[in-house]
Structure 1
Amino acid sequence: MKEKEIEGSLWDVFIHVLAVIALYVSIVGALTVLFQYVNLSLTDTADVEVDVRDRIRWGVASLLIFFPAYVWAWRLIEMDLSENPEKKKLWVRTCPIYLTLFLAGLLALSDLACLVYYFMSGDLTSRFLLKVIAVLLVSGAVLWFYLSALRRVPGPLPSATRAFAYATFLLVGLLVIAGFATAGSPSRAHLARLDVTRIENLQDIQREIVEYWQNKMALPTSLDQLSDSISGFSPPRDPATSASYGYHAVSPTSFELCADFALRDFDTEHTLPSWTRMRLGKIYWNHEAGHFCFSRTIDPARHPPHKPEA
């Protein structure tokens, strides 16, 4: 007897496309978090400004949003299959599965090829090997799960599939929890960004002080003298307390700028992404937590006085 043919609805298209997209984003998020854990555990001096904690945040955010979406879509698909077993061979179901199997297999093969290449090149490090293992585990899990989905008869989930699903939920939960613990709390990130604003404000003030000295061959007696109605500059204030920043002239060409910082610069650097840290500079603005003053000296050779207009 010929099996009853059934056409997929727009809902079938939506739920299967949502499931496959959510799955891919979740896989990228999981691998991102795993890779950064490896980077944190086995540091490499050859690294150049790796945004470890910021990448962990992106990975955790992806898992936290897209993995539950995938679980929700997958459960709806399984419930629908139990009620309509004829949908097992529906093209909108089989196409994403075969695409996922193809991409997972390609990922695993590429991963093994990289392993052989780096082994032959003598560059096989423990850190790289752990990342290879992470990719193999994730791609292997996807291959096993979707191969079993193709072979499985619609209905109650087999014990092996249920155990695999529960183990996956547990591992993703652990990754998310560990990610929050590693990346730091939102309140700490907020404090770090306040410190970044303070450094940016001090940079602006320093630039105006140098400009003032070049014009008048003297340092201002207070920050209020930097106010300029023409350029529109007004000395910024602390973003949290609105208090004025500390300033006093030490010599005709030397001065100090002071601020109250929530964190030391090391903690700020490991909380914020590298593009922010690089914008602030490194050694020039190092500071401790609490009240801290930066000593600055104007070099006349580098910043020559402006010649008066004739």
Structure 2
Amino acid sequence: MELDNAQSQQKLSPKFFFVSLFILVWLITTVTSLLNLIFGLLDKKFPDILNATYSYGYNTYEFTAIRGALATLIVIFPIFLIVSYFWTKLVAGQLGRIDLTIKKWMLYLIVFLASIAITIDLITLVRYFVEGEITTRFILKVVTTLVVALLVGLYYLSELRGEKGKRFVQIASLVTASLIVVAAIVAGFMTIGSPAKQRLLRFDERRIQDLQSIQGQIVTYWQQKEVLPKSLDDLKDPLVGYSIPPDPEFESGKQYEYSVKGDLTFELCATFALPMPKGWLEYSKGGIEPMPLDYYEGRDGVVSSYPYPGPFGTNESWDHDTGRACFERTIDTDIFQPFSKTQ
């Protein structure tokens, strides 16, 4: 009997070991994702104008970090809460000596890693502040970091010290953390929009790309024949494999429109689902650094109305509201000369 008791006190429970491992991994993932999400939202709310360009149009990569943090929190945080519940039940039961050692090591490791992570974040934030980081954004990031560190520290230090009132401290910390996570997720969706809105924005992005393609083909047609096409059907060329791109919602009756306004002037029209997004976009948050002014013979590729679709995305020349929008273009013969004159 004494031998059995001694063996039970020395036992290592695989269940407790792996649950503890899950707690450690999910906690680090949750804290990292939460801070990344809040920092990303603060960067969008308070952009650094010195490190940004005023962007027009939908940018696929603009909210990449926020989307990743949102997806991680939505999936991982509920799992973390469930695993934490089972871990608490296991801790409340009878643990062997090895299990108690694992528990202490895990708690100390959590506090240690949290301290390291928070210290690195604070050092990084202070460095950004010294470089001229916007004061409001800097203060909010520091407050967020300290609050998260405080909640993690209170929860696990109370368990480590075995305080009598630890249950109240843990529940209060967990409820507060849950409210912060939910608020951050809601703010994230309010910033990037619902999945349905994202789909509509991508439809509009496709329309702009199609109009850019059609515009470029019209310019090429004029350079070849020195006359504007009478209709979009004139642009079809099986030899080069060009066909008119359809509106992404052509099945509902939407289509692109083209009309000739003069010898060198034409108009392209489309029906858009939403207004064109616009605002300051930081280079490090998915933005594109402006190219030199001489990139296209002295034309700035970011802000000019270059007729062909390229790596720079859209610009103010394609700005539109919800509904039908038309874009009038006039070919500059000094820039786009007929091919017969250049050969």
Q: TM-score band, normalised by the shorter chain?
A: 0.7 to 0.9
Percent pairwise identity: 31
Question: Are 2:183 and 1:174 equivalent residues in the alignment?
Answer: yes
Map 1:150-169 onto structure 2 (within 5 A). 150-152=160-162, 158-169=167-178
Q: Distance in 2 between matches of 1:285 and 1:119?
A: 36
Equivalent position amino acid for 1:6 in 2 = K
Instruction: Give the Cα separation in 2 of the matches to 1:307 and 1:208.
Output: 17
**Partner of residue 128 from structure 1, selected from 135, 138, 153:** 138
Contact 2:231 2:259 in 1 (8 A): yes
Unaligned runs of 5+ in 1: none
Matching of residue 259 in structure 1 with residue 264 in structure 2:
no
Equivalent residue number for residue 257 of structure 2: 246
Bigger Cα displacement from structure 2, 299-308 vs 182-191: 299-308
| Alignment of structure 1 residues 288-299 onto 2, 5 Å | 288-299=321-332
Q: 1:216 to 1:12 in 2, by over 3 A?
A: farther
User: For residue 313 of structure 2, what is the aligned residue in structure 1?
Assistant: 280
Q: Give 1:74 shift.
A: 1.4
1:268–1:150 distance in 2 versus 1, CA, 3 Å: same
Q: 1:5 aligns with which of 7, 10, 26?
A: 10
- Aligned pairs for 1:61-210 within 5 A: 61-86=71-96, 88-91=99-102, 93-113=103-123, 125-152=135-162, 158-210=167-219
Mind listing any 5+ residue stretches in structure 2 that lack a counterpart?
56-60, 289-301, 303-310
TM-align CA RMSD: 3.5
AA at the equivalent of 2:108: Y
Equivalent residues of 1:222, 1:247 under 8 A apart: yes
Once residues 261 and 103 of structure 1 are traced to their aligned partners in structure 2, the CA distance between those partners, rounded to angstroms, is 49
- Identify if the C-alpha distance between structure 1 residues 181 and 120 changes in structure 2 by more than 3 Å, giving closer, same or farther: closer
**Paired residues of 1:220 and 1:226 also in contact (CA < 8 A):** yes
SS at match of 2:91: helix
Secondary structure at 1:4 match in 2: helix
Q: Contact 1:54–1:183 (CA<8 Å) still a contact in 2? A: no
Give TM-score, length-normalised by structure 1: 0.83
**Counterparts in 2 of 1:274 and 1:198: CA distance versus 1, 3 Å:** farther
Distance 1:202 1:44 in 2: 32
Match of 2:49, SS?
coil
- Contact in 1 for aligned 2:260/2:267 (Cα 8 Å): yes
Residue 120 (structure 1) shift: 6.9
1:229-282 C-alpha deviation (Å, 9 max, x unpaired): 122211011111344311112222221111011111137999xx8569984222
Secondary structure at the counterpart of residue 221 of structure 1: coil
Quote the offset at 1:283 in angstroms. 1.2
TM-score, L = length of structure 2: 0.76
More displaced stretch, 116-125 vs 139-148: 116-125
Distance 2:202 2:212 in 1: 15
CA contact (8 A) 1:36 1:56 kept: yes
**Quick one: distance in 1 between partners of 2:26 and 2:260?**
58
| More off after superposition, 75-84 vs 39-48 | 39-48
The 1:138/1:250 distance shift into structure 2, 3 A limit, reads same
Compared with structure 1, are the counterparts of its residues 157 and 256 closer, same or farther at alpha carbon in structure 2 (3 Å cutoff)? same
Closer, same or farther: CA 194–67 of 1 in aligned 2, 3 Å: same
Shift of 1:34: 2.3
Q: Secondary structure at the match of 2:229?
A: coil
Query: Aligned equivalents of 1:39 and 1:309: distance in 2?
Result: 48
Amino acid of the structure 2 residue aligned with 1:186: P
Amino acid at match of 1:32: N
Q: Offset of 1:206 from its aligned partner?
A: 1.0
| Aligned partner letter, 1:241 | F
Quote the Cα distance in structure 2 between the aligned partners of 1:181 and 1:236. Answer: 32
For 2:132 and 2:200, the matched residues in 1 are separated by 44
